[in-house]
Amino acid sequence: MSSIKLKDVTKRYGDGYEAVKHLDLDIEDGEFMILVGPSGCGKSTALRMVAGLEDISEGDLEIGGRRVNDKAPKDRDIAMVFQNYALYPHMTVRENMGFALKLAKVDEAEIKRKVDEAAKTLDLTEHLERKPANLSGGQRQRVAMGRAIVREPAAFLMDEPLSNLDAKLRVQMRTEVSRIQQSLGVTTIYVTHDQTEAMTLGDRVAVMRAGVLQQVDTPRELYEHP
Ligand code: ADP
Ligand code: ADP
């Protein structure tokens, strides 16, 4: 139900620069798609168009079979995690994770149930009553993911979510991210410039260069036929 389809999508910025050119990409329901390429190749622009944070200049975007070009981010049923995630420092982990649901006027018992469930998936149950300042970088990153997943979005969009972590933690979190994505089974697009990350995390890898999609393959196929 929540496939993501980009059909001949182009992004032209105000100065005429084409950051994404005629992008065709089909992401299946539940699939973990990596978008990789060097800095400036248009990855974030592509992701931001899916999120609704950038207008699409040409082409169509479908989420769950519906054209969403003109829908606001909040009406696209997606959740995003960025590298510069900001948790609310005065709130506990539980309050951080439940905040979006509270804003949406979901009732307290339901919020508790959803936060407890997400905390279990993210291995945060022990930390629910703590403040972000008292958590490790990896735990904070998981809270940021938790905040996104409690809303049970149709799609999960991540832009270099691990790039602020130190090298050791980054490697640990790769395994975590794969495990979490698999247990949620949520359609995911994950942007990175890191080739190792690209080859180890997802179901398929889309390689971009200078605004153009070069190749879409499984990590194994890419490894054998780069
Ligand atoms: P606007 O033109 O809509 O006011 P800004 O100039 O504030 O937008 O830029 C919005 C974002 O895009 C900022 O994060 C900015 O750093 C980035 N940005 C703007 N122009 C460029 C560019 N030519 N190359 C890369 N990033 C840019
Ligand atoms: P990546 O995520 O692959 O590093 P981006 O999508 O951020 O690449 O940027 C792709 C290209 O678009 C870059 O050449 C960048 O300079 C340009 N760009 C990004 N934002 C803007 C903007 N607001 N205005 C003009 N050009 C931009």
What Å distances lie between residue 70 and 27, 155, 168, 171, CA to CA?
20, 17, 41, 38
Nearest-atom index, ligand 2, CA of 191: 2
Q: Is residue 42 in contact with ligand 2, taking CB distance under 6 Å?
A: yes
Predicted local distance difference test score (pLDDT) of residue 180: 87
Give the pTM: 0.86
Q: Is 41 helix (H, G, I), strand (E, B) or coil?
A: coil
Q: Say if ligand 2 is within 6 A of residue 38 CB.
A: no
% residues pLDDT > 70 (the chain): 99
- DSSP state for residue 46 in the 8-state scheme: H
List, for residues 84-108, the tens digit of each pLDDT value: 678 999 999 999 999 989 999 999 9
Q: State which of 6, 35, 41 you would mutate to test the pocket of ligand 2, scoring each by most atoms of that ligand within 8 A of its C-beta.
A: 41
The confidence score (pLDDT) of residue 218 equals: 96
Question: pLDDT at residue 210 above 70?
Answer: yes
* DSSP tag of 213: E
Residues 206, 207, 212: CA angle, nearest 5 degrees:
110
Atom of ligand 2 at shortest distance to CA of 159? 2
Quote ipTM for the complex.
Answer: 0.70
**What does the alpha-carbon distance between residue 143 and residue 134 come to, in Å, rounded to a whole number?**
12
Per residue in 38-88, pLDDT (tens digit) is 999 999 999 999 999 999 999 999 999 999 999 999 899 899 887 767 899
* Structure-token match 């082409």, residue found: 59
Q: Please tell me the predicted confidence (pLDDT) of residue 170.
A: 86
Q: Which ligand is nearest to the CA of 13?
A: 2
Q: Ligand 2 pocket: which of 11, 13, 34 to mutate (most atoms <8 Å of CB)?
A: 13
Instruction: Give the position, in ligand 2's atom list, of the atom nearest the Cα of 11.
Output: 12
Q: Which amino acid is at 78?
A: I
134-164 tens-digit pLDDT: 998 889 989 998 998 898 888 999 999 888 7
Helix (H) / strand (E) element for 165: namely none
